[in-house]
Amino acid sequence: MDLFVWCGLGLLGGFGAVLRFGLDAVVSDRLNGNFPSGTFAVNLAGALLLGLLVGIGVDGDALRLAGVGLLGSFTTFSTWMFESERLTEDGQLRVAGLNILASLGLGIGLAWLGMQVGAAL
């Protein structure tokens, strides 16, 4: 990879993190409760968008920049796991299980849907 790609990854990574912070805050403020709805929404949106990029045929450096740089920093596996573990520690096993299973099931489904929609465009 050349310097342009490395710099682009850094810039888009920063932008993706800011987008995640903003969307997480907006969703979490509107949907109060024990369920980590902000992280849930961010990760599902990222799965759909990455599927869409793959479906429309984005590849090479463009996919690295958009998929790894922007969407890789927009989505967050570590926060998803931390929030699930915190729910477990708090005795909210059903909420933790719902967070894990719904994120996996809907995430895979939305990635697939994005690929199908992208391929149809």
Q: Using CA atoms, how far apart are residues 99 and 120, in angstroms rounded to an integer?
A: 31
The secondary element (H helix, E strand) that includes residue 54 is helix 37-55
**54-65 pLDDT, tens per residue?**
999 999 999 999
Whether residue 1 has pLDDT greater than 90 = no
Total domain count, the chain: 1
User: Domain range spanning residue 31?
Assistant: 3-120
Residue 28 buriedness (CB in 10 A; 0-12 / 13-18 / 19+): middle
**62-89 pLDDT, tens per residue?**
999 999 999 999 999 999 999 999 999 9
Q: Using CA atoms, how far apart are residues 9 and 79, in angstroms rounded to an integer?
A: 21
* Average pLDDT across the chain, whole number: 98
The pTM of the full predicted model, rounded to 2 decimals, is: 0.95
Q: What is the pLDDT of residue 32?
A: 86
